[in-house]
């Protein structure tokens, strides 16, 4: 498939996105409690899900979903995990445990369950991050985080897989632009 910026411009219409997006109420979105009631669940965890899981901070519904769902994983999330481990101070008392946990996690993921953004997804994620940087007034570091979240969201959407995240506000505004995806918040 040829990469095409004009496709992203036509799809997301940045010229029409001129005002700040409002964050929708939690009741308007899909929660982990609601999603856990479905029979066969397929999910892609956002990076914060892995972090919260290791920290014991998942809600009961999110923990249930992580334990029972068929999980796919984003190469973007794996990169974010690697950044976190690389940034962790090796002199810290928790460094060995943390690096072992994440090394084990990454090693346990079958190659067939890793989703990678293609060229067009990169272009569309860049368009979304640019629109949101402009309309939401994002700082430089927020644009980069938004780009990663848009890559995760769009890659999952392309495969028809919802994203599980605790980052409701960011995924909410991304979804308001790219309506083809689904995210489940906890």
Tens digit of each residue's pLDDT (9 = 90 or more) over 164-180: 999 999 999 999 999 99
Full-model pTM? 0.84
**Confidence band for 53, pLDDT divided at 50, 70 and 90:** very high
Residue range of the domain that includes 104: 5-10+26-185
Structural domain includes residue 15? no
Q: What whole-number distance in Å separates Cα of residue 12 and Cα of residue 146?
A: 15
Is residue 19 situated within a structural domain?
Answer: no
d(CA 36, CA 38): 5
Tally of structural domains, the chain: 1
Q: What are 111-138's pLDDT values in tens digits?
A: 999 999 999 999 999 999 999 999 999 9
In a domain, 168, yes or no: yes
Question: Tell me, what CATH number does 128's domain have?
Answer: 3.40.50.1010
In a domain, 17, yes or no: no
Domain contains 125: yes
Residue of 168, 160, 171 lying closest to 185 (CA atoms) = 168
């Amino acid at each position: 498939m040829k990469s095409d910026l004009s496709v992203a411009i036509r799809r997301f219409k940045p010229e029409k996105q001129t005002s700040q997006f409002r964050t929708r109420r939690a009741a308007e979105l899909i929660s982990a409690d609601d999603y856990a009631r479905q029979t066969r669940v397929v999910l892609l965890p956002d990076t914060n899900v892995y972090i919260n899981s290791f920290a014991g901070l998942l809600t009961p519904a999110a923990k249930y979903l992580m334990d029972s769902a068929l999980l796919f994983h984003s190469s973007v999330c794996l990169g974010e995990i690697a950044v976190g481990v690389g940034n962790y101070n090796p002199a810290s008392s928790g460094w060995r445990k943390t690096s072992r946990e994440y090394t084990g996690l990454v090693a346990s993921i079958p190659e067939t369950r890793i989703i990678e953004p293609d060229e067009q997804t990169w272009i569309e994620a860049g368009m979304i991050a640019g629109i949101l940087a402009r309309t939401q007034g994002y700082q430089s570091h927020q644009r980069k985080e938004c780009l990663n979240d848009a890559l995760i969201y769009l890659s999952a959407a392309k495969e028809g897989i919802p994203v599980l995240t605790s980052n409701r506000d960011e995924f909410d505004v991304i979804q308001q632009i790219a309506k083809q995806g689904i995210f489940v918040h906890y």
